[in-house]
Chains A and B, each alone.
Chain A
Amino acid sequence: MIYLELFLTFFMIGAVTFGGGYAMLPMIQEQVALHWGDIISGEMLVDFVAVSESTPGPFAVNMATYVGSAVGGQDGGAWLGVFGSFCATLGVVLPSFIVILIVAKCYDRFRQSRVVKGCMSGLKPAVVGLIADAVLSVAVTVFFHAGVRVAVFTQAAFYVSAGIFAVMVVLAFKKVHPILIICLSAAVGIAAGYLGLWG
């Protein structure tokens, strides 16, 4: 039952990711590879991170909706895709909804709780380590398009990717808007494509 699987997987993702935004990426990468690796490749996921960056709304909801529609609609049924999106999105939203309802009722006790503070002192740095791993696997997808091989270093594509990456890192740290960064990268990608540099 693929819809129940979507719901439960995203429920779990929503329940254990603290910090919001990209904190969810490591979990999503892992679970998608585990359950639906044959439908959604690592590259498709990175592409969708770009789409998610360029559209409004929370990252988690965007990713859940996308994965749900790709997995649910894999046999070509558009409405099944919509239902898949619904299951995944409901799953990812429900844990924080429930937790906040409980917290809103007994806020002061939650705020002073030593248990919560203690757990968070371990979770916050751990999330940084987890995202570092997620970034590493995205880097492998970007630079080692066709698998990790030494031959990659002799191909133009590697240096085009590295060039785009280097320039965009500088722009990102200069607080250039993410959408502009994505559009510029796309433009360079298209130009490189018609020059035959992607190989």
Chain B
Amino acid sequence: MRASKLWRLFAAFFRIGAFTFGGGIAMIPLIQKEAVENYKWVTDDDVMEILAIAESTPGPIAINAATFVGYRACGVWGSVFATLGVVLPSFLLILVLSFVLQQFQALQVVQFAFRGIRAGVLALLIKSLWTMYKKSPKGGFAYVAMGAAFILTAVLNVNVIFVIIGCGIFGLLSARHLERSAGK
């Protein structure tokens, strides 16, 4: 019973991992179909919760969601099987592709293609930068954090990890400050 439930978790998240392009939010409809409609491991409310949690915890949303659903369905082992399932398709595919790429990257046609592709990727990155900007909080404080993070890394070459830790602390302190001034 338990073993078959673990297997179903693995298989469902393997399918989710294999068919989500773009990762992250693109995965949510599939999770709803498999984990809510098909197997009833979690509810629609849980899925919304997962999104909220995923935004405030580190790591890819796919991993966060798989671990959370797995845990709700079948405890720690459930988490292990669901996470393994969601990671395995891209792991195997990329492994093959990176070997193929190493074989063919010397070909002239492949080099030409990638010269074009790099410009296309830049366009995709601009689009996702815009999406992230729209999702981010706005206001004076947020613009300061945004600008500071950019200048620190782009101009001053500060290590990204220090910028992340610094901005976390900065956010915490300013939230405390706002609370205190609202209390008075």
Contact = CB atoms under 8 A, between A and B. Distances in A.
Interface string B13-44: 00001111111100000000000000000000
A15 interface: yes
B115 A99 contact: no
Contacts of A181: 120, 123-124
A61 B24 contact: no
B121 A15 contact: no
What 6 A-B pairs have minimum CB-CB distances, sorted nearest first? A189-B116, A122-B171, A96-B59, A57-B90, A193-B112, A185-B120
Nearest to A190: B112
B127 interface: yes
A162 B119 CA distance: 7
Nearest to B111: A193
Contacts of B1: none
Contact of B94 (A53, A55, A73, A104): A55
A173 B127 contact: yes
Max count, chain B CB within 10 A of own CB: residue among A70, A117, A157, A185? A185
Interface in A113-127: 114-127
Interface string A155-171: 00100111011001101
13 contacts: A19-B132, A50-B120, A60-B63, A69-B95, A101-B67, A103-B57, A119-B172, A128-B149, A133-B149, A168-B120, A179-B21, A181-B120, A192-B112
Contacts of A120: 55-56, 171
A141 B122 CA distance: 10
Nearest to A189: B116
A61 B120 CA distance: 22
Interface of B: 17-24, 49, 52-64, 67-68, 71-72, 76, 79, 83, 86-87, 89-91, 93-95, 97-99, 101-102, 105, 108-109, 111-130, 132-133, 135-137, 141-143, 145-151, 153-154, 159-161, 163-165, 167-176, 179
A160 B113 CA distance: 12
Contact of B146 (A58, A128, A161, A179): A128
Given A18-B56, A103-B53, A121-B171, A126 B127 contact: no
Contacts, number: 391
Nearest to A55: B93
Contact of A47 (B17, B52, B117, B133): B117
A59 B137 CA distance: 24
Contact of A125 (B105, B146, B153): B146
A156 B150 CA distance: 31
Nearest to A110: B53
B59 to A, nearest CB: 2
Given A54-B21, A96-B63, A125-B143, 4 more contacts: A66-B94, A96-B67, A123-B164, A169-B126
B79 A82 contact: no
A20 B90 CA distance: 16
A130 B153 contact: yes
Given A18-B57, A18-B58, A127-B132, A104 B71 contact: yes
Contact of A58 (B63, B123, B148, B173): B63
Contacts of B137: 121, 124-125
